[in-house]
Amino acid sequence: MPDLIAIYPGSFDPLTNGHLDLIERSSKLFDQVVVAILTNLEKQPLFTVKERVEMLESVTASLSCVAVDTFSGLLVDYAVRKHAHVIVRGIRAFSDYEYELQMALMNRKLEPKVETVFLMPGESYAYISSRLVKEIVQHGGSVKDLVPPAVEERLRRKVAAGDVTA
């Protein structure tokens, strides 16, 4: 049987403990997991692509079947280039489902060979989002337990540098 390769795509701006939980769960299900950072975000990201790659690489270093990569353009085209048959997406709450379903069905329409698999994070991560993490940091709150320590440190440095303002 050929290796089962999964792509876990996202903006990861920044990576949270919820993302990490899903990466760990995916690594137990698939032979290879490629965490793929979308480079052409519509919004101005807080972290550069290089910073996001570095953070993801440092927190996934112990997971030998996980690789970190970047992509632009259509996700399904990238998945085909990577010989991946699976896209992994996380569903935290019912509110995620509508958008995720639409995206999964559109991706399937564009490329029927690639299936989307939804995974649920551990319930203690269900309320975490990158958007809320940035908002908390902007207003001086603590994001301990929400993001890996390496990300917390980078966020602290962004605040000190004045890159994150309320």
CA-to-CA distance for 43 and 30, rounded, in angstroms? 31
Of the candidate residues 27, 32, 60, 107, the single one contacting ligand PNS (CB under 6 A):
107
Residue 26 binds ligand PNS (CB under 6 A): no
The residues in 39-98 that bind ligand PNS, with binding defined as CB under 6 A, are 74-75
CA-to-CA distance for 126 and 113, rounded, in angstroms? 30
Residue 10 binds ligand PNS (CB under 6 A): yes
In the complex, minimum distance from the CB of residue 30 to ligand PNS, in angstroms, rounded to a whole number:
17
Residue 14 binds ligand PNS (CB under 6 A): no
> What are the DSSP calls for 83-137, one per residue?
T--EEEEE--SHHHHHHHHHHHHHHHHH-TTPEEEEEPPPGGGTT--HHHHHHHH
**Which residue out of 19, 89, 134, 154 is catalytically annotated?**
19
Tell me which DSSP letter residue 147 carries.
S
Q: Where do contacts with ligand PNS occur on this chain (CB under 6 A)?
A: 9-11, 38, 74-75, 103, 106-107
